[in-house]
């Protein structure tokens, strides 16, 4: 897979097609909106979702961590979709095998007791101020800080000949903020309407590419 290097607030970030970014200066992998447990939750309530989708999230997590020299994994909210279910057991096993620290920035879906995460060695925060950056789940503007966040599940619709189009997830970059795509495989996308100064970095199956922001 081909990554793309960009700068946020004068620091290097490497964007990965799976939807995460490696903060080079901090050796930190950032992802958002994994929504573990969502597949099991919907299957339990009768949705015809292949069970194999459940394991795709963990496979993607392992693949992206293996791609970098990671000291810390930071999840920008919505790690789990709702209450505890069978995926928690898989998650515990996955965490136990990691050789890096894990930090969770709590999101609106993160209703599991923080103590259960802390028992696994995961640090849970509402937000994190780090080296001129503000790490949150919901996008937030705060003077003097560059915001890294999730929640929105940004996506763009690219049009081809005729009426052909494809919807892809993206990183939504602005001068003082970058919103991360949803990392989870069973998540929706919100079609953004980018401002003129924004940059859009689209995730394809094999690479991250910048697409032009068209005038409105």
Q: Which residue has the higher pLDDT, 84 or 104?
A: 104
- Condensed to tens digits (0 to 9), the pLDDT of residues 165-189 reads 789 999 999 999 999 999 987 678 9
Give the confidence band of 34 by pLDDT, cuts at 50, 70, 90: very high
Determine, yes or no, domain membership for 91: yes
pLDDT of residue 128 exceeding 60: yes
Residue 216 lies in a domain: no
> Residue 137 above 50 pLDDT?
yes
Query: Which ranges of 71-164 would DSSP assign to H, the alpha helix?
Result: 87-96, 114-118
Alpha carbons 106 and 119: distance in angstroms, whole number: 16
Q: Give the pLDDT score at 187.
A: 77
Instruction: Tell whether 186 is covered by a domain.
Output: yes
Tell me whether residue 156 is in a domain.
Answer: yes
Alpha carbons 212 and 194: distance in angstroms, whole number = 10
Tally of domains in the chain:
1
| Domain coverage including residue 183 | 4-211
CATH classification of the domain holding 44: 3.60.21
Is residue 123 within 8 Å of 102, Cβ to Cβ? yes
CA distances from 9 to 71, 131, 132, 144, 207 (A): 21, 10, 8, 10, 23
């Amino acid at each position: 897979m081909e990554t793309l290097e960009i700068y946020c607030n004068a620091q290097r970030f490497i964007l990965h097609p799976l939807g995460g970014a490696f903060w080079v200066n901090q050796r930190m992998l950032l992802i958002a909106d994994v929504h573990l447990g969502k597949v099991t939750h919907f299957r339990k309530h009768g949705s015809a979702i292949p069970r194999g989708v459940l394991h795709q999230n963990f496979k993607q997590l392992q693949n992206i961590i293996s791609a970098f020299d990671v000291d810390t994994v930071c999840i920008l909210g919505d790690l789990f979709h709702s209450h505890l279910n069978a995926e928690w057991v898989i998650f515990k096993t996955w965490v136990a095998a990691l050789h890096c620290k894990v930090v969770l920035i709590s999101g609106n879906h993160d209703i599991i007791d923080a103590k259960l995460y802390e028992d696994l060695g995961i640090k849970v925060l509402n937000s994190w101020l780090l080296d001129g950056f503000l790490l949150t789940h919901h996008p937030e503007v705060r003077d003097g800080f560059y915001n890294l966040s999730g929640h929105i599940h940004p996506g763009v619709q690219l049009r081809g000949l005729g009426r052909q189009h494809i919807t892809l997830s993206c990183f939504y970059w602005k001068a003082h903020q970058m919103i991360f795509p949803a990392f989870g495989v069973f998540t929706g996308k919100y079609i953004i309407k980018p401002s003129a100064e924004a940059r859009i970095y689209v995730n394809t199956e094999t690479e991250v590419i910048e697409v032009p922001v068209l005038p409105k």
